[in-house]
Amino acid sequence: MIILASLMALAAPQADSVQAQKPTEITLEQALQIALSENISVQVADKEIERAQYAKKGSYASLFPKIDASASIQRTIKKQVMYMGGGDDDDENGGGMSGMMSGVLAPVMDYINQLAKATNTTLVPYTAPASTSSNDNGGGIEVGRLNSFSAGVSASMPIINFQLWESLKLSGQDVELAVEKARSSRLEMVTQVKQAYYQVLFAKEAARVYKEVYENALANKEKIQLRHEAQKASDLELARALTTLANAIPNMYDSENAVTLALWQLKAVMGVDLDLQVDTKGELHDYAEEMTILYGENELSLENNSAMRQLELQAAQLASAVKTNKYANLPTLSLGFAYQYSAMANDYDFSNYRWTPYSYVGLSLNIPIFAGGQRHHAIKTAQIQAEELDIQKLETERRLRISIRQNLNTMETAMRSFDAADAALEASRKSYDITLASYEIGGSTLTDLNDAQLALTQAQLTAGQSIFNYLTAKASLEGALGNDFLEESNE
Is a pLDDT exceeding 60 seen at residue 12? no
The answer to the question of residue 18 being in a domain is no
- How many CA atoms lie within 13 Å of 439's alpha carbon, on the beta-carbon side? 24
Dihedral over alpha carbons 119, 124, 125, 131 (to 10 degrees): -140
CATH number at residue 59: 1.20.1600.10
Total domains in the fold of the chain: 2
Strands 147-160 and 332-345: antiparallel
Say if residue 148 is in the same domain as residue 224: no
Give the domain-ending residue among 367, 389, 413: 367
Please report the pLDDT score of residue 298 as a whole number: 67
Is a pLDDT exceeding 60 seen at residue 340? yes
Say if residue 316 is in the same domain as residue 348: no
Say if residue 428 is in the same domain as residue 297: yes
- The dihedral region occupied by 337, where left means phi > 0, alpha psi between -120 and 50, and beta the remainder, is beta
The answer to the question of residue 89 being in a domain is no
Rounded Cα distance between 467 and 218, Å, is 29
The answer to the question of residue 15 being in a domain is no
The answer to the question of residue 279 being in a domain is yes
- pLDDT bucket at 69, cuts 50 / 70 / 90: very high
CA-closest candidate to residue 446, choices 220, 228, 222: 220
The answer to the question of residue 428 being in a domain is yes
Spatial neighbors of 62 by CB under 8 A, at least 6 apart, are 158, 164, 168
What pTM, to 2 d.p., does this model score?
0.75
Say if residue 380 is in the same domain as residue 443: yes
Longest Cα pair distance anywhere in the chain, in angstroms?
Answer: 173
Say if residue 390 is in the same domain as residue 321: yes
Please report the pLDDT score of residue 11 as a whole number: 47
Q: What is the pLDDT of residues 292-338, one digit of tens each?
A: 767 766 678 888 899 999 999 999 999 999 998 899 899 999 999 99
Say if residue 295 is in the same domain as residue 146: no
The answer to the question of residue 88 being in a domain is no
Say if residue 253 is in the same domain as residue 388: yes
The answer to the question of residue 129 being in a domain is no
Say if residue 363 is in the same domain as residue 376: no
Say if residue 439 is in the same domain as residue 362: no
Say if residue 304 is in the same domain as residue 172: yes
Please report the pLDDT score of residue 220 as a whole number: 86
Q: What is the pLDDT of residues 369-418, one digit of tens each?
A: 988 888 888 889 989 999 999 999 999 999 999 999 999 999 999 999 99
Rounded Cα distance between 430 and 291, Å, is 25
Q: What is the pLDDT of residues 251-305, one digit of tens each?
A: 999 999 999 999 999 999 998 888 889 899 999 999 988 887 677 666 788 888 9
Q: Provide the residue range defining the domain that includes 151.
A: 65-74+140-160+333-367
Say if residue 338 is in the same domain as residue 266: no
Say if residue 165 is in the same domain as residue 147: no
